[in-house]
Structures are given as C-alpha cells and as structure tokens.
Amino acid sequence: MKQHFKKPQLLYTYLATEMLAPFFASFLIMNCVFFLVKLIPFLNFVLELKIDLSDFIRLFSYLFPNIFLYSIPMAAMMGVTIGFARLSSDSEILALKASGISMYKIIPPVLIVTAIISLFTAYFSIKLIPLSEIAMKQLTYQLLKEKVNKGIKAHSFTEALGDVVVYVDEIDKTTGEWSDVWVSDMRGVSNPIITMASSGHMESNIEEMNVTIVLQNGSLHKPSNENAQIVEFDQYRINIPLRPPNSKAIKVKKRSVLSMGELLEASEDESIPIKHRREFLIEFHKRLVLPAGCLLISLIGMPLGLQARPGKKAVGIQAGLGIFILYYIFFTIGKSMAEDATLPTVVAMWLPNFFFFCLAIFWIYRVANEKTLIPVFFSKALGYLFSYIRPLVYGLPLLLRRKLGALSKNNAEIVEIKDNSAIRGNAKSRVFHVSECEYYQNKNCSIEFKNIQIALDADFEPCKFCKKYMDLP
C-alpha cells in the first residue's frame, strides 16, 4: 500500500508571507537610502549638462541594477530575520514544535523564497548590469556630444571641449562641414597650440568615448620661448575624450559591459597580459559569487531570527546587519587576494561563500537541535577573554585623561571640574563612584551627591578604581 505525503502548503504559504512582507519593506527602504547616496554626486553631472527630466530618469534607471545587486541580498536577509523573529517572539514557532513540526520542515519555504530572490539577483548580476552599463555609456556619450554640438556655433568661440577652444567661421547646414577653422589646444602645455585650417568637421567614436576634430589644409603653430614651430598639413586629427563633469557619478569599466561568455573568453586569451586576464576572470566569478552569497546570508537569517523570545530583546536584526557587513568584508578581502594573485582566483573568490555556507549549516543544525548558536565552550572562552579585556576597555579612557591632566599646566582647574561632577553612592557599602567609573551606573548606587567633597563629608569613600583615578591614598 502506497502512502502519499502531502506537502503542508498552507504552512509554506504562511511562512513565505511572513518573510516576503519585511523583505519588500526592507528593499524599499534600502533602495531609497542607496538612491540618496548615489544622487548627491550625480547632481553635478545633471546640472552641468542641463539634462531634462526624461533623460535624468533614463540615466538614473541604469544605475539601479548595480544598486539591486547589494540591496536585494541585504533585504532578503532582513526579511528572513525579521519574519522568524516575529514568529518566535509571538510563540508561533513554539506552537509549531508542539504540533510535531520540526525545524527541518520549516526550511523548504525558506530555501524556496531565498532561492527565487537569489535567482533575481543573479539575473541582475549576469544580464541586466552589463546591459545597463552599455546603455549608460551610450546615453552619457550622447548627452556629452549634444553639449559639444550645441556649443559649436558659427562666428563664436566655444569652450564646451574643456581646454580646447574652437572657432568656426561658417557651418554648412546640410553637411555640417566647417569653414575657416581656428583651434586652441591648452592640454598639458603652458602656451596654447594654435591650429588653423580652411575646412574641417567632427567625428565621433562611442567605443572610445571621444570626438575627433578632422582639419584639412592648414597649419599648426607651436609657440615657444626659444624656437617656435610651424607645421603645414593636408589633414590633421585632434582627439578629444568626452568625460562626465563628475567621473565618480558615472564610471563605466570596459569589463563590466562584457557578457559572461566574453569575460571567460578574454580570461583565456593568451595575447592579453596575465594581469588583465585575471581581472576578467575576477569579474566573471564576481557575477556568480554575489547571488550565491545572497542565498547563504539569507539562510543565516533564519537561526538569527529564532533567537528572539517572548519578552526578550531581539538581537537577530543587529546580528544580521553585522553578518551582512562581515560577508562583504570577506568578499572584498577575497577579491583583493585574487587581484594580487595571493590565491588562485577561483579559490579566493569562492572562499567567503564556502565559509558562510558552513556557518549556515552549522547554525541551522544547532537551532534544529535546540542548541545555542555559539557552543558553550566558545561562549565561556569568549566570556573569560572579555573579563580580561573589559577593564582595559573601560580603564583606557580614564588613563588617557589622567595622563593629559598630568601634562596640563592647568591641572588644578581640571580636578576642580571633576570634583564638581555628579557622584553616585551605595548606601549599604558606603562607597561612591565618579561618572567615569564602570560601576557608576550600578543599580545599587541610589544616592547622588553634588560633588566629591559632599560625598566625603557624608562618610562615603571612593571605590578602589576611583581612588586611583583621583590619586587618593
């Protein structure tokens, strides 16, 4: 007799809803933040070229695939963490366990949701980002070229080309050919190089992001304090790169516009220097590593969210942000190691993902078996270590203040200021603490004195730590 096991679709749908609601909220908030961060350097470019609203929307929309590559993983992790934190704090996870549903049965909807989100991230990383980079490059070039074309007018000097000033006597309206052209080139020289020609025109090259002024039948004049040079020519070409006013706002790297196949082909091309081949291979793996990392850190959000308890402060969200930042620190280190050839490119790029994969499996296993995320042995070891570090952390600021006070010529005034600071005392032990003391906020310190002298007059004495600070015997 065959038994048919029906999937708990209602449970899966409910858990997916609990994760997706905070995911979309986090996604919206984070994209707004990234939008504002990108907008500030972007405004200089917009205002300089006087871009209209439609071009501004198009131009900025090409930035969103790059933004989504980082905002989607972060939102996915926050969605899983917040969703399970709410379920755990409302005792719904406890109710599921009481109904005989193990933690392993809860993993499938988490895996499905995070896998779908990771696939979207992969689509942005592999397909949309190269396309958006190409579109960004084309639109940027078009806007810059329009600025140059509008700037070049008959019977007027144009400074739309930066250090290159162009004067055209006449412009043919049908062919765009120039007549009686004068060009002053100040790039990299103290005295301008003057070029005069009977005719000329402008050519554009979108691949190299430059325009070329082609001049016919003219002469080039190089003034100098020692020897001036005059060179006559039949044809002379002046290449002028088109650069955005703010290169940080729009920065397109050549390898970012290549497809995955082109990147892999370039990384295997022996005619390319090995350093550049390595860069192509790094870009290839980067587009795969980040979507896979999105899946892994999202799965880590589940055990972090389950740390919440009724009436207990949830630490999963803060820990999730820390894990997210830690992942990208590891990713940056791995990328740097790949660029420096410290490790093979594949190993260096995928090593952070392997570490977080092991961490996700380890934490899910411990949560499923009702264990703490950090084993007791490590927890005690960390607590023991912190007990030694804590006095240094709290005592270092006080030590620095004492040293600065000793070096100060006006040390008496500093002591007077400290004497006038608020003092808290313990009525049972008859001990008081200054504000810099680590025991100042102790709940047993219920009495507050205006200054040190009043506390001493009331037969209170400073603690051992405060005695050292106050230089008392």
The 10s digit of each residue's pLDDT in 53-77 is: 887 888 888 888 888 998 999 999 9
Label residue 116 by pLDDT band (50, 70, 90).
very high
Q: Which helix (H) or strand (E) holds 265?
A: helix 260-267
Q: Tell me the Cα Rg of the chain.
A: 34
Q: Say what percent of the chain tops pLDDT 90.
A: 21
Give tens-digit pLDDT for 284-333: 999 999 999 999 999 999 999 888 877 676 677 888 888 999 999 999 99
368-383: pLDDT as tens digits: 888 888 777 776 776 6
Model pTM greater than 0.85? no
Cβ neighbourhood burial of 352 (10 Å; 0-12, 13-18, 19+): buried
Residue type, 125: S
Out of 107-111, 146-150, 246-250, which region has the weakest mean confidence (pLDDT)?
Answer: 246-250
226 or 276: which leads in pLDDT: 276
Looking at residue 247, what is its pLDDT? Answer: 47
Which of 186-195, 216-225, 333-342, 454-463 is most confident? 333-342
Least confident of 4-18, 383-397, 451-465: 383-397
Task: For the chain, give the mean pLDDT.
Answer: 79
Q: Would you list the DSSP string of 388-400?
A: HHHHHHHHHHHHH
- For position 402, what pLDDT does the model report? 58
pLDDT at 320: 86
pLDDT value for 414: 39
Check if the beta carbon of residue 201 is closer than 8 Å to that of residue 187: no
CA distance 338 to 352: 12
- pLDDT value of residue 139: 81
Q: Please tell me the distance from the alpha carbon of residue 154 to that of residue 309, in angstroms, as a whole number.
A: 76
**Strand (E) positions, 336-465?**
423-426, 431-433, 447-449, 461-462
Q: Which of the pair, 338 or 402, is modelled with greater confidence? A: 338
Which segment of 263-277, 318-332, 456-470 scores lowest on mean pLDDT?
A: 456-470
Rounded-to-integer distance, Cα 342 and Cα 351, Å: 13
- The per-residue pLDDT for range 242-259, each reduced to its tens digit, is 765 554 444 445 777 888
Instruction: Write out the H or E segment, with its range, that includes residue 182.
Output: strand 178-185
Does 24 have pLDDT greater than 90? yes
152 and 172 in contact (C-beta within 8 Å)? no
